[in-house]
Amino acid sequence: MVSVGVAGFGATVTIANSGSTFSPDAVTINLGDDVTFTLPSFHNAQEVSFETWTANGTTALPGGFSVPFGGGNVPASALTAGIHYYVCVAHASSGMKGKITVVNTTGIAANPQGNEISIYPNPSHGNFQLKISNQQSGTEYELALYNILGTKVYSKTNVQSQNPNNIDVADLPKGTYFLHIFNGRDTYNRKIIVR
């Protein structure tokens, strides 16, 4: 269950646990929001790299956030645009991990230099073309689309750069969605509108 409260100009999203899993284990928040972990004394949350997260490891990400056993708050200042991967140190080996996707809703992309991402037409009736121009032809990307509540509503893997890729979400309700594009190292976030 996600609970959202307003604190200042940002919102607070709460992540709890269900046994040895974070609940929810993936959230999407806006830049400027913060996250509160409500956990029992035997769970914590520590930010790790994507590689460590994938391997169910526990090596802390230098400069990343850390929530003590029993829970705590991650301030907005520690949650820059992009994806923040985290684990419970005591239970990472059994897969207790999650991710926080932070989107920049101002329209200013906080993305690495050197890549061009175009999505057209946008807005559309749910059929988009995604083109990723990258110096390295054949780079593979993973796509995830989230609604404004942070629920993943669409995903696609093995998306190739240099090729137009179709995103067909015509069955989704009209509204604003956040597209997360990840290549294993760099993260890109774009807003799309289904009308």
Q: Residue 192 corresponds to which tokens in the numbers above? A: 């799309």
Residue with more model confidence, 167 or 8? 167
Domain membership flag for residue 171:
yes
Domain membership flag for residue 110:
no
The CA distance from 27 to 49, in Å, is: 17
Together in a domain, 126 and 181: yes
User: Omega into 62 within 30° of 0, i.e. cis?
Assistant: no
Together in a domain, 96 and 143: no
Q: Are 21 and 45 in contact (CB under 8 A)?
A: no
What is the tens place of the pLDDT at every residue in 94-142? 999 999 988 776 543 444 444 578 888 989 999 999 887 765 566 778 8
The CA distance from 140 to 104, in Å, is: 23
Question: Between vectors from CA 56 to CA 55 and to CA 61, what angle results, nearest 5°?
Answer: 90
Domain membership flag for residue 134:
yes
Token pair 């409260």 is at which residue?
5
Together in a domain, 97 and 120: no
Q: Are 52 and 89 in contact (CB under 8 A)?
A: no
Domain boundary (48, 73, 103) is at: 103
What is the tens place of the pLDDT at every residue in 79-93? 988 889 999 999 999
The CA distance from 29 to 81, in Å, is: 9
Give the chain's domain count. 2
Together in a domain, 155 and 187: yes
Together in a domain, 13 and 83: yes
Confidence of residue 2 (pLDDT cuts 50, 70, 90): very low
Domain membership flag for residue 98:
yes
The CA distance from 33 to 51, in Å, is: 25
The CA distance from 44 to 67, in Å, is: 6
Together in a domain, 120 and 190: yes
Mean pLDDT of the chain: 83
Together in a domain, 97 and 126: no
The CA distance from 91 to 168, in Å, is: 37
Domain boundary (56, 75, 103) is at: 103
Together in a domain, 27 and 82: yes
Q: Are 119 and 190 in contact (CB under 8 A)?
A: yes
For residue 82, how far is the Cα from the chain centroid? 6
Domain membership flag for residue 181:
yes
Together in a domain, 86 and 126: no
Residue 185: domain span: 116-194
